[in-house]
Structure 1
Amino acid sequence: MIKNLFERSRSHWVRYNRYELKTGKNGRRYITPGKDAKPDVYNPLNMVPDIVLDALNVGMLMMGRKPAAEVERAVLKFVTQYGLLGLMTALPTTPSFMDYKAVYLPKNHFIKEESMSTDRYLALFYPFDQLELVKQGIESSWKVSGDRTMIALTMTFMDEPMAKTMSFQRQYAEPYDWVAQQFKDWAFTLTTSILYYQDYHLIDQDTRELYQKAMAVFGGIAPSYHIELLDKPTIYWDFHSLLLGIQMMFSFMLVDNEQPLRVCKHCQKVFLGKPDNMDFCSARCKEQSDICKNRKERD
């Protein structure tokens, strides 16, 4: 189902070939493109289902309380492969917040305030080098650096919301703990869904309702779309953030009965289940599980 849904779709995002962790003056760690890192424009929809599985498996490391260093490597590996999540445009009520006097925020895990000035909001994502931005009321303008690569990148996305284009600049950064938390949230959603049905007859009504409430809060601002008349009618998903793109893909995969998302009973890796294999991600994991089971029985 997931492949058919995005077969006639296209959307684009930017990833750099190198990211690094830097500590800001506030002591918080951020993920930001490395010095002289090169950007690449790609279509995340071509990465389905791998991009969703990779995101979930980063979160599963935290659910399994793996060492912080292992989680950090996995987060940076994901970001290098797919880019930052685009939290700056994902959190507000609209990615076009530069067209308003302030930024308005629905409930989220990262910012408690319901609104804040645009300058304060932007500072959350530019902790090291500020963009040359001028904002007066609803009027905004910003000057791209003399870097030809940044100029070309800006021209590529000139029809997109200003904030999205700004988030592709080298100065942009995302708090590491926010990015990691998002991966963990996705993994938590998956395990909640699996446990609800797997243990349905073993849990009481109160626990079932708790699972249902946990699932009910999953979601956020839905991406918009429009249709373009190319060689054939084509849906263009306006994600404006990688986070919302992954969340939407994940949502459809979560309700897909043909290839349901599963967690390997041996290694805890997330994989796409098949009718003949719903418990293990590989023959090796099944073999290892059988060995462990036989060893326990002998003991």
Structure 2
Amino acid sequence: MELKAMFPNLNVMWTRWSDYEVTTFDHVEYLVPAEKATPLAYDCAEQAEQLVADALELGRQLRMGTPDKNRLCAAFAARHGLLGLAGVNASIWQGLAGGGPLSASLDSRQYGEPVDELNREFQKLYYHFLYTREDVLPPEAPAVLLDLDGALHYRLTGGLVPQLIWEAHSMYEVLRLSYAMLMTQEKPSLKVCKNCGKVYYNTHAKSEFCGTKCRNYYNVKVFRTKSK
């Protein structure tokens, strides 16, 4: 079931910027909007499934130790925005912000998030994905990673016909809720490419490849192996 179908009045307008870069504040690397980036408002719940697939794939590449972690995180943010960590457990993050990018308003150009924390969050999601597929917690995964939790808020309007409005205070909340919904579907739609190992979203039950290129490459590889 899609997120919008379960929560039809979900309000998740989010701000992402056209480009992001890494800057250093108080010896910590932050991912922030680039100087000439333009703000783009969009509803991240409309593409929640792709958001989850992209986050899992980023977590997979980070787990593999990619040397391009900053570029990959910036590319993810340009597609979906930052997670909004300052809006999650605000009391904890306020103590770590110290007047830096985390202290700024979530939709401002000055707002940024620590690259290392982003890496941890994406990898944590991917570790959970691996755990559900293999029923074995990877040895390097956090020992406490057995369950994931999250939050979704609501408000009830006044008037003769009150409306129940669901609200997410960050994209982090949308990401976790969407992941939970996809992982508990009767028919799995989060797949791992049989050729390259990429995590992708596809509702077709027989889908095994992330695209035509991987399917053709795999078939050629199998054919050559049989020929030998």
Q: Shared fold by TM > 0.5?
A: yes
Q: CA deviation at 1:275?
A: 5.0
Letter paired with 1:59: G
Letter paired with 1:255: T
Q: CA deviation at 1:227?
A: 4.6
- In the other structure, the counterpart of 2:193 is 264
2:123 and 2:37 mapped to 1: Cα distance?
A: 27
Q: CA deviation at 1:254?
A: 1.0
Q: CA deviation at 1:58?
A: 1.1
1:33 and 1:48 mapped to 2: Cα distance?
A: 22
Letter paired with 2:40: D
Q: CA deviation at 1:89?
A: 1.4
Which of 62, 71, 74 does residue 76 from structure 1 map onto?
A: 74
- In the other structure, the counterpart of 2:31 is 31
What's the C-alpha RMSD, in Å, of the aligned pairs?
3.1
Alpha carbons of structure 1 residues 292 and 36: separation in structure 2 relative to 1, 3 Å: closer
- In the other structure, the counterpart of 2:113 is 174
Unaligned stretches of 5+ in structure 1? 96-102, 106-110, 112-117, 132-165, 197-206
Alignment of 1:83-122 (within 5 A): 83-90=81-88, 92=89, 95=90, 103=91, 105=92, 118=94, 120-122=95-97
SS in 2 for 1:262: strand
SS in 2 for 1:68: coil
- In the other structure, the counterpart of 2:63 is 63
Letter paired with 2:114: P
Which of 169, 173, 197 does residue 244 from structure 1 map onto?
A: 173
Residue deviations 1:179-207 (CA, integer Å, cap 9, x gap): 122111112211221223xxxxxxxxxx5
* TM-score (normalised: structure 1): 0.64
Q: Percent identity?
A: 22
SS in 2 for 1:48: helix
| Contact 1:192 1:215 survives alignment (8 Å) | no
- In the other structure, the counterpart of 1:222 is 151
SS in 2 for 1:80: helix
2:45 pairs with 1:17: no
1:7 and 1:288 mapped to 2: Cα distance?
A: 41
**Deviating 4+ runs (over 4 angstroms):** 213-216, 227-230, 232-235, 273-276
SS in 2 for 1:49: helix
| Contact 2:194 2:208 survives alignment (8 Å) | yes
2:44 and 2:133 mapped to 1: Cα distance?
A: 26
1:41 and 1:175 mapped to 2: Cα distance?
A: 22
SS in 1 for 2:101: coil
Q: CA deviation at 1:79?
A: 0.6
Alignment of 1:121-132 (within 5 A): 121-123=96-98, 125-126=100-101
Q: CA deviation at 1:31?
A: 0.7
Alpha carbons of structure 1 residues 281 and 216: separation in structure 2 relative to 1, 3 Å: same
